[in-house]
Amino acid sequence: MHVLAAANLRLDASAIDYVLLAFYFVLVLGIGYLARRQVSTSLDFFLSGRSLPAWVTGLAFISANLGAIEVMGMSANGAQYGLPTAHYFWIGAVPAMLFLGVVMMPFYYGSKVRSVPEFMLRRFGPAAHWVNSASFALAQILIAGANLYLLASVVNLLLGWPIWVSIIIAAAIVLTYTALGGLSAAIYNEVLQFFVILAALIPLTIVGLYKVGGWSGLMDKVTGSPGGAEQLHSWPGNQLTGFSSNFLSVLGLVFGLGFVLSFGYWTTNFVEVQRAMASKSMSAARRTPIIGAFPKMFIPFIVIIPGMIAAVTVTELMGQNKQALLDGQSAPSGATFNDALLLLMRDVLPNGILGVAIAGLLASFMAGMAANLSSFNTVWTYDIWQTYIKKNRPDGYYLNLGRIVTAIATILAIGTAFIASTYSNLMDYLQTLFSFFNAPLFATFILGMFWKRMTKAAGWSGLVFGTASAIVVFVLNETGTISLPGQGASFVAAIAAFVVDIVVSVVVTYATQPKPETELVGLVYSLTPKSTREHSTTGDDAGWYRNPVLLAGIALAITIVLNIAF
């Protein structure tokens, strides 16, 4: 593990920065406190989210996703691979969000499925539910580790304490914050951190571009740096995938990243889907991810470009340091790509705006980790403990258990934070996790939804074998049997998990008895009445600018233009 403090990499924060930071947390905790003190209809409205207009849910939808993991991971990726990172947005997220709005949302909203474990239980019975809950809980702990590690690296840069002390301190801060603020503060924090992050990243990008001499200056510097001009065009992205063949690289991007990983992530990620469920009508629910897609398209410009600038201007990441990191060794300076954004902030942001940047980063790690902890808590306490281990206890029992589980989860996350800290680019770590957990889940989910014959046994066995095959690909890559240096291994693992899951599910289905059709109404597409999937076009849903399909078409057109231009 690297120790940043040793290389004297410190953020030079002054009193004014700490004041801005403090103001943020006073505001968030204050609102959380007021929320718990007085039962206000208006507040209740935002918290429980009944009948929200589409722009609010759209905002919540995109904020829930633009956390620090995304900001730090994508800028690390930008520093390492350059513009091909934009695929995560233009091939990955945006088309998947549009697919969610146009195809999946009518089904979700109409059938009132509220979570993935719930769908698994009703569609495939307890075995698939068990497998899904357990793997989901594990995934949350592993992702919480990434959040905690990033939070710790900010504490480390601010105060200069060793990373292991920072991790423990960061864990204590998160626990205090969740205990003080509760769920209500968490929801406001999620939306507010998005704006603070924007307020920090836009100036950072502008100043960074000034520093390298504008767009053309950046182009020249990246061309002259290790990695070269290939990092300036999003296609074919060979460095990112690790394939030397252009054709395989494009195939890996489109099918692995675009289809399996991103569609899997967005359609089965109910942390996000639930934001859309809070909207007031089917039309608003469908518009939620589509409205979210518009800002999403432009996020790469303020996360990837600062990463690229950092890789050519920050002393600790330039030249031989970048070369060493690209070769998979540690840089002489001790820095990693994960530090790209923080180091650029240190170099170009004066006190004042630096405080805004620190507040934004800390807030989004908190939001991210709080979301992981609460998802883990819900699944462990209600889906696993209450369903299979101790049934029919009073509510207070489960509430207390929830508190203990949150504390235990935080301690476990300290462990996974150390795993995350061994990756020089956190995006590698995250994409590996997504290939283990999301890719097979997506296969089972989509097959179970569209194919009514699929049986209970096929449900759980597909998941188990899918995840196992992704792990096999991962181990083969780690031991050097196959060698894909970039994130190609995750893309291949995701494709393997998806294909194996489908094959196993089909084989098992034909060997076992299907569920009677009457039990599948509302759970399978063809057995859900069409009327429950349609939306109104009157009143608040009237007008061409509120037509989900048209909005999706506009978003898709802009994305295609962006793909061609870069």
Partner 1 sequence: MATEPTPRTRKAGAFDIRLIIALLTGVYGIVLTIMGAAFTNDADITKAAGVNINLWAGIGMLIFTALFVLWALVRPIRVPEEEPPAE
User: Site residues (CB under 8 A) for partner 1?
Assistant: 16, 19-20, 23-24, 27, 31, 40-46, 50-51, 53, 56, 59, 188, 191-192, 195-196, 199, 202-203, 206-208, 210-211, 347-353, 356
Name residue, tokens 């919540």: 60
How far does CA 135 lie from the centroid of its chain?
A: 17
Q: Return the bridge partners of 52, or none.
A: 279
Decide whether 237 or 307 has the Cβ nearer to partner 1: 307
Residue 177 identity: Y
Minimum Å gap between C-beta 89 and partner 1 is 23
Minimum Å gap between C-beta 16 and partner 1 is 7
Burial class (CB in 10 A: 0-12, 13-18, 19+), 81: buried
Decide whether 347 or 519 has the Cβ nearer to partner 1: 347
Judged by DSSP in three states, 294 sits in helix
Decide whether 253 or 356 has the Cβ nearer to partner 1: 356
Minimum Å gap between C-beta 360 and partner 1 is 10
CA distance 160 to 157: 5
CA distance 410 to 354: 29
Minimum Å gap between C-beta 303 and partner 1 is 17
Minimum Å gap between C-beta 213 and partner 1 is 9
Name residue, tokens 């050519």: 312
Minimum Å gap between C-beta 40 and partner 1 is 7
Judged by DSSP in three states, 12 sits in coil
How far does CA 231 lie from the centroid of its chain?
A: 24
Q: Tell whether omega for the bond before 53 is within 30 degrees of 0, i.e. cis.
A: no
Decide whether 227 or 360 has the Cβ nearer to partner 1: 360
Assign 3-class secondary structure to 59-106. Answer: HHHHHHHCCHHHHHHHHHHHHHHCHHHHHHHHHHHHHHHHHHHHHHHH
Minimum Å gap between C-beta 542 and partner 1 is 16
Question: Which letter does DSSP use for residue 542 in this model?
Answer: -
Minimum Å gap between C-beta 350 and partner 1 is 4
Decide whether 104 or 348 has the Cβ nearer to partner 1: 348
Minimum Å gap between C-beta 158 and partner 1 is 18
Decide whether 203 or 295 has the Cβ nearer to partner 1: 203
Minimum Å gap between C-beta 206 and partner 1 is 7
Q: Which residues contact 297 (CB under 8 A, 6 or more apart)?
A: 89, 90, 94, 555, 558, 559, 562
Reading phi first (left if > 0) and then psi (alpha if -120 to 50, else beta), residue 379 is in: alpha
Contact 308, 218 (CB under 8 A): yes
Instruction: State phi, psi for 536 to the nearest 5 degrees.
Output: -80, 155
Structure tokens given for 112? 């009132």
Decide whether 134 or 209 has the Cβ nearer to partner 1: 209
CA distance 143 to 109: 28
CA distances from 420 to 146, 223, 257, 485 (A): 5, 31, 21, 18
Decide whether 16 or 521 has the Cβ nearer to partner 1: 16
Minimum Å gap between C-beta 57 and partner 1 is 11
Decide whether 228 or 352 has the Cβ nearer to partner 1: 352
Q: Return the bridge partners of 279, or none.
A: 52
Judged by DSSP in three states, 52 sits in strand
Handedness of CA 560, 561, 565, 566 (dihedral sign): negative
Decide whether 202 or 550 has the Cβ nearer to partner 1: 202
Decide whether 234 or 283 has the Cβ nearer to partner 1: 283
Structure tokens given for 479? 């031991």
